[in-house]
Amino acid sequence: DSKFDANNDPKENTPFPSQIFNDATNTNTIGNFYGKVTSDDPGTSNDSGQLPNQTTRRDSHGAAVTLDGKYVHVVDRIQNVVEVFDTITEERVNTYDLVSKDGQSGREGHAGPCLKRSVLDDNDLQLNDPAPDLLELTPDGKYLMIAFRGPKPVSVSHAAQGSCPGVGIVELSEDGISGKLVDVLRATNTVDDVPVGTISGGRDYSGVERSDVHGAIVVEKN
């Protein structure tokens, strides 16, 4: 990452990380220099923003390991998908989405629960936009609890605007290799009146919702 290359005395990680997945359509944005940058390539330039179903930008964020340790689920905050990797072969073995009811149909299929939980006080806000952040596996290994960002991101507004702030519940299937969003525990905060400001690449939200969930931690009750 070019942001770290500026260090005059860079220290290599030990062991050095190996890249196991790189989306070639990702954009060259904020330090990432592997993506496409040409303005004559629609949807893949630096200014392609964060609007779902329009940009090819990637924002890999939270990760969780299945109970048996076989798979790692990594969420993408802009594309609203979960990439699944085999911990032994280090190969990507599946991708499922957080916007459709079945986790496989994308926006062409029946909408998942984020749509009905979306903020509705701004007609121009993109609906059914989970913007997944940090996550944790439930103790029984059956579900992922994922923080969903809000329409007014408190941080990294260039990549974190979402429409259904709260905690998403993903039910795992196929022995942990797949999943689907089954519900959203909706959060709300209309007390805070901090100005929205400019949402880079997104929608300058005009509503009153200020909930912006960053992380989800599962506590087992004895």
* 40 or 161, higher pLDDT: 161
Average pLDDT over residues 206-215: 95
* 12 or 59, higher pLDDT: 59
Give the per-residue pLDDT at 90. Answer: 94
Average pLDDT over residues 71-85: 97
Q: What is the spatial distance between Cα 183 and Cα 150, in angstroms, rounded to a whole number?
A: 16
Distances (CA, A) of 28 to 1, 32, 38, 101: 11, 5, 9, 32
Structure tokens at 198: 């400019």
Q: What is the spatial distance between Cα 152 and Cα 23, in angstroms, rounded to a whole number?
A: 27
Under 8 Å between Cβ of 165 and 97: no
Helix, strand or coil for residue 183?
strand
Under 8 Å between Cβ of 164 and 148: yes
Give the per-residue pLDDT at 80. Answer: 97
Average pLDDT over residues 83-102: 97
Under 8 Å between Cβ of 102 and 174: no
Structure tokens at 112: 């998942």
Q: Is the pTM of this model over 0.75?
A: yes
Percent of the chain with pLDDT over 70: 85
Stretch among 21-30, 56-65, 89-98 having the lowest mean pLDDT: 21-30
Beta bridge partners of 51: none
Give the per-residue pLDDT at 128. Answer: 97
Average pLDDT, the chain: 88
Give the per-residue pLDDT at 6. Answer: 57
Helix, strand or coil for residue 116?
helix
Closest CA to 103 of 134, 64, 147, 73: 73
